[in-house]
């Protein structure tokens, strides 16, 4: 058993991950909206300016991380903030962007408190890991800026976890991602990966932490390009002088604003929420695959509590190929290990004996029991995909009903899809050849909205048989007809057409460009003598004919 030294943290009196504006307080954020699991706490000011469009698909969970009672004086004398404060080293310049971010945090102490509570199980561990790697302690605030310390946060740019890694960067820095498990959400794996990535960026920018942080947000290539541009023009190349995207211009000031508040909270009439400066979580080696419901029972936790502490697991059980570890409140470890040692290997999962029917195949059976083909093959010693009707298979199944695993991938998506929206609710089942663009055109809705309603990113791959929730507005007949005309090539009377040349960006696809300019994929193919089956290349130029009145 390895001890992680995680405390009970609750940040100052209030913070959140996606910076939000209040009036004119924040001037450098984009106007995208954030969806959160806390609708009671949201007002128009909070929705006005979010710098990162992040989805919070599930509600928070309160933990019992310490089974001992202490008086308030003892808590105040032994909290984590003096430890952090003593190591703060970043300069806090008198910059307008920084001041506006700080003003917003100061005006919203409830936000700071909410994020601090969410950080409670994890902040001490992060502080410890930063110290171990000789990294600036200010980086402990980065998950606030990135995700509001929500390990289940997911952005429409496909970034996931409290450190918000996209799939490629996550894989690059050691985060395993498969059907069972996503290391980008795993607290241990993602923290280790974030530290390695930040070390790389720090070295890449010759020891400049402000540039490294900017690159963490928008990529090293973009920041390097801005630096080189300023060099050519004879301008300063520090972060504050660079021409960077709006979101990145606000990103570094948010982190510095939080550091300044932690450094001198009394100057802003704020009190920091006291957090124990000691370990409250432990990492336990479970040796092999284990049903999460059984693990929760052994630890004396609710299933939701266990999943909140171990957000990397997508399904009802841990990954059969590892990692074979769980984070548990330290006071529950002895009880958990005692119970685990009494479990036989077959008792770690629930099992069902299944008689193969005519027409069955391993894929259908795996879908039926919410498991994987390779696991069925392994358990039943099957080589290849041949099975015979009348024979029996031993299938590992969830110990409880699937809706009990509230933070599994399926339940998080279901919660998202069941959230009421305006209009009429429809359900579309993905068929062979479907793409988000064509589905949007069929139902006369924006493809990005479909992604938002169903809790995934517009560039995520659709799966055959996947159920998509569609919300159609019933009172926008004229708008629908104009939208349909633009998609089908029928020009409305007041259309103003222009021929343009579009330079393909990294990550662009036929569907994404078609959606951006309200044209059809087939038209893009025809205008440029291209085939949609072939990949577009960054820098490639496309000829487009667009209605400028429909592309505002």
Could you read off the pLDDT of 426-468 as tens digits, one per residue? 888 888 878 888 888 888 888 888 888 887 777 777 887 788 8
Q: What is the rounded CA–CA span in Å between residue 43 and residue 22?
A: 10
User: Is residue 392 within 8 Å of residue 35, measured between CB atoms?
Assistant: no
Looking up residue 509, the CATH number of its domain turns out to be 3.10.350.10
Confidence check: pLDDT of 301 > 50: yes
The parent domain of residue 262 ranges over: 75-268
Same domain? For 105 and 203 the reply is: yes
Q: What is the rounded CA–CA span in Å between residue 542 and residue 501?
A: 5
219 exposure class (CB count in 10 Å sphere: 0-12, 13-18, 19+): middle
Could you read off the pLDDT of 38-69 as tens digits, one per residue? 322 323 333 223 334 555 544 566 666 665 54
Q: Is residue 35 part of a domain?
A: no
Q: Is residue 113 part of a domain?
A: yes
Q: Is residue 343 part of a domain?
A: no
Q: DSSP letter at 461?
A: P
Same domain? For 468 and 511 the reply is: no
Same domain? For 232 and 124 the reply is: yes
Tell me what the mean pLDDT of segment 274-301 comes to: 90
Per-residue pLDDT at 25? 34
Percent of the chain scoring above 90 in pLDDT: 39
Per-residue pLDDT at 400? 63
Q: What is the rounded CA–CA span in Å between residue 105 and residue 107?
A: 5
Per-residue pLDDT at 33? 27
Tell me what the mean pLDDT of segment 206-233 comes to: 97
Per-residue pLDDT at 467? 85
Per-residue pLDDT at 328? 95
Same domain? For 369 and 429 the reply is: no
User: Rounded to the nearest 5 degrees, what angle is found at the Cα of 303, between the Cα atoms of 65 and 338?
Assistant: 70
| Band (405; pLDDT cuts 50, 70, 90) | low
Q: Is residue 380 part of a domain?
A: yes
Q: Single out the residue in 268, 302, 334 at which a domain terminates.
A: 268
**CB atoms closer than 10 angstroms to residue 365:** 18
Per-residue pLDDT at 395? 82
Same domain? For 221 and 102 the reply is: yes
**CB atoms closer than 10 angstroms to residue 153:** 29
Same domain? For 137 and 184 the reply is: yes
191: which residues sit within 8 A by CB, 6+ positions away? 125, 126, 129, 163
Q: Is residue 208 part of a domain?
A: yes
User: Is residue 129 within 8 Å of residue 192, measured between CB atoms?
Assistant: yes
Q: What is the rounded CA–CA span in Å between residue 489 and residue 114?
A: 49
Per-residue pLDDT at 29? 33
The residue behind tokens 């020891």 is: 207
Could you read off the pLDDT of 513-545 as tens digits, one per residue? 887 777 888 888 888 888 888 888 888 988 887
Pairing of strands 281-285, 392-397: unpaired
Same domain? For 201 and 264 the reply is: yes
C-alpha distances in Å from residue 243, one per residue of 52, 201, 226, 229, 247: 19, 19, 6, 9, 12
Q: Single out the residue in 333, 363, 398 at which a domain terminates.
A: 398
Could you read off the pLDDT of 278-287 as tens digits, one per residue? 888 999 999 9
Same domain? For 160 and 109 the reply is: yes
* Residue ranges of E strands in 26-77: 54-55
Candidates 177, 141, 173; CA nearest to 158 is 177
Tell me what the mean pLDDT of segment 409-437 comes to: 76
User: Is residue 109 within 8 Å of residue 14, measured between CB atoms?
Assistant: yes
Q: Single out the residue in 268, 297, 318 at which a domain terminates.
A: 268
Per-residue pLDDT at 95? 94
Beta bridge partners of 283: 2, 327
Q: Lowest-confidence range among 267-271, 303-307, 485-489?
A: 485-489
The residue behind tokens 């309603």 is: 453
224: which residues sit within 8 A by CB, 6+ positions away? 204, 205, 215
* Residue ranges of E strands in 459-509: 467-472, 497-503
Q: Is residue 459 part of a domain?
A: yes
Confidence check: pLDDT of 495 > 60: no
Per-residue pLDDT at 27? 33
User: Is residue 385 within 8 Å of residue 362, measured between CB atoms?
Assistant: yes
User: Is residue 162 within 8 Å of residue 18, measured between CB atoms?
Assistant: no
Same domain? For 371 and 230 the reply is: no
Q: What is the rounded CA–CA span in Å between residue 336 and residue 3?
A: 15
Same domain? For 220 and 98 the reply is: yes
Q: How many C-alpha atoms does 336 have within 13 Å on its Cβ side?
A: 26
Tokens of 344: 């036989």
| Band (134; pLDDT cuts 50, 70, 90) | very high
User: Is residue 237 within 8 Å of residue 173, measured between CB atoms?
Assistant: no
Q: Long-range contacts for 38-46 (Cβ within 8 Å, ≥24 apart)? A: 38/114, 41/110, 41/114, 45/20, 45/21, 46/20, 46/22
Candidates 154, 159, 151, 135; CA nearest to 217 is 159
Confidence check: pLDDT of 341 > 90: yes
Between 170 and 453, the more confident residue is 170
C-alpha distances in Å from residue 446, one per residue of 199, 237, 358, 472, 483: 40, 40, 42, 10, 10
The residue behind tokens 């039926």 is: 368
Confidence check: pLDDT of 332 > 50: yes
Q: What is the rounded CA–CA span in Å between residue 104 and residue 49?
A: 11
Annotated catalytic residues are 146
Highest mean pLDDT of the ranges 267-271, 355-359, 374-378, 500-504 = 267-271
User: Is residue 94 within 8 Å of residue 74, measured between CB atoms?
Assistant: no
Looking up residue 189, the CATH number of its domain turns out to be 1.10.530.10
| Alpha helix ranges (H) inside 283-408 | 292-299, 303-309, 333-342, 362-368, 373-380
Same domain? For 219 and 248 the reply is: yes
Q: What is the rounded CA–CA span in Å between residue 471 and residue 479?
A: 15
51: which residues sit within 8 A by CB, 6+ positions away? 18, 19, 28, 29, 30, 246, 247, 250, 251, 254
Confidence check: pLDDT of 160 > 60: yes
Q: Lowest-confidence range among 157-171, 262-276, 328-342, 402-416?
A: 402-416
Tell me what the mean pLDDT of segment 126-136 comes to: 97
User: Rounded to the nearest 5 degrees, what angle is found at the Cα of 265, between the Cα atoms of 8 and 44?
Assistant: 85
User: Is residue 301 within 8 Å of residue 329, measured between CB atoms?
Assistant: yes
Per-position DSSP letters for 173-196, written without gaps between them:
TT--BSSSBBTTT-HHHHHHHHHH
Q: Is residue 39 part of a domain?
A: no
Confidence check: pLDDT of 322 > 60: yes
Per-residue pLDDT at 20? 34
Report the domain count for the chain: 4
Same domain? For 242 and 361 the reply is: no
Tokens of 482: 């104009």
Q: What is the rounded CA–CA span in Å between residue 293 and residue 307?
A: 9
Q: What's 378-394 look like in SS3?
A: HHHCCCCCCCCCCCEEE
User: Is residue 163 within 8 Å of residue 146, measured between CB atoms?
Assistant: yes
Tokens of 4: 């992680």
Per-residue pLDDT at 483? 41
Q: Is residue 50 part of a domain?
A: no
Per-residue pLDDT at 100? 95
| Band (549; pLDDT cuts 50, 70, 90) | very low
């Amino acid at each position: 058993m390895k001890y992680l030294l995680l405390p009970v943290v609750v940040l100052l009196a209030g913070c959140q991950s996606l910076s939000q504006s209040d009036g004119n307080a924040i001037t450098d954020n984009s106007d995208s909206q954030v969806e959160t699991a806390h609708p009671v706490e949201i007002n128009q000011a909070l929705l006005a300016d979010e710098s990162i469009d992040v989805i919070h698909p599930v509600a928070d969970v309160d933990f019992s991380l310490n089974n001992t009672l202490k008086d308030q004086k003892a808590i105040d004398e032994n909290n984590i903030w003096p430890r952090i404060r003593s190591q703060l080293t970043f300069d806090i310049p008198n910059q307008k962007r920084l001041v506006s971010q700080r003003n917003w945090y100061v005006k919203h102490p409830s936000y700071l408190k909410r994020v601090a509570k969410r950080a409670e199980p994890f902040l001490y561990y992060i502080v410890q890991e930063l110290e171990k790697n000789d990294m600036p302690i200010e980086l402990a605030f980065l998950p606030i800026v990135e995700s509001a310390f929500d390990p289940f946060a997911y952005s429409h740019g496909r970034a996931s976890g409290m450190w918000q890694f996209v799939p490629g960067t996550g894989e690059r820095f050691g985060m395993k991602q498969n059907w069972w498990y996503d290391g980008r959400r795993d607290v241990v794996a993602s923290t280790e990966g974030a530290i390695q990535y930040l070390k790389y960026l720090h070295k890449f920018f010759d020891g400049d932490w402000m540039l490294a942080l900017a690159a963490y947000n928008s990529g090293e290539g973009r920041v390097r390009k801005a630096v080189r541009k300023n060099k050519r023009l004879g301008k300063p190349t520090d972060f504050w002088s660079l021409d960077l995207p709006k979101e990145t211009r606000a990103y570094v000031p948010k982190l510095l604003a939080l550091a300044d508040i932690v450094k001198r909270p009394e100057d802003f009439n704020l009190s920091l929420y006291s957090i124990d400066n000691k370990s409250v979580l432990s990492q336990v080696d479970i040796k092999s695959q284990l049903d999460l419901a059984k693990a929760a029972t052994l630890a004396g936790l609710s299933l939701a509590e266990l999943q909140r502490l171990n957000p990397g697991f997508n399904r009802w059980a841990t990954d059969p190929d590892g990692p074979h570890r769980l984070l548990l409140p330290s006071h529950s470890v002895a009880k958990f290990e005692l119970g685990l040692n009494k479990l036989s290997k077959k008792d770690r999962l629930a099992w069902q004996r299944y008689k193969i029917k005519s027409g069955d195949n391993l894929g259908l059976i795996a879908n039926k029991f919410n498991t994987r083909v390779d696991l069925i093959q392994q358990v039943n010693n099957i080589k290849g995909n041949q099975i015979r009707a009348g024979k029996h298979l031993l299938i590992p199944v969830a110990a409880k009903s699937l809706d009990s695993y509230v933070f599994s991938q399926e339940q998080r998506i279901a919660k998202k899809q069941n959230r009421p929206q305006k209009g009429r609710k429809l359900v579309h089942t993905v068929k062979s050849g479907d793409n988000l663009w064509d589905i949007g055109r069929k139902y006369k809705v924006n493809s990005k909205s479909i992604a938002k309603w169903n809790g995934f990113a517009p560039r995520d791959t659709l799966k055959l048989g996947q159920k998509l929730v569609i919300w159609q507005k019933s009172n926008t007949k004229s708008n629908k007809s104009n939208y349909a005309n633009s998609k089908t090539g029928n020009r409305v009377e007041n259309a103003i057409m222009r021929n343009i040349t579009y330079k393909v960006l990294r990550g662009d696809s036929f569907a994404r460009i078609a959606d951006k300019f309200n044209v059809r994929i087939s038209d893009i193919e025809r205008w440029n003598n291209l085939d949609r089956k072939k990949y577009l290349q960054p820098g490639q130029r496309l000829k487009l004919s667009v209605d400028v009145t429909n592309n505002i």
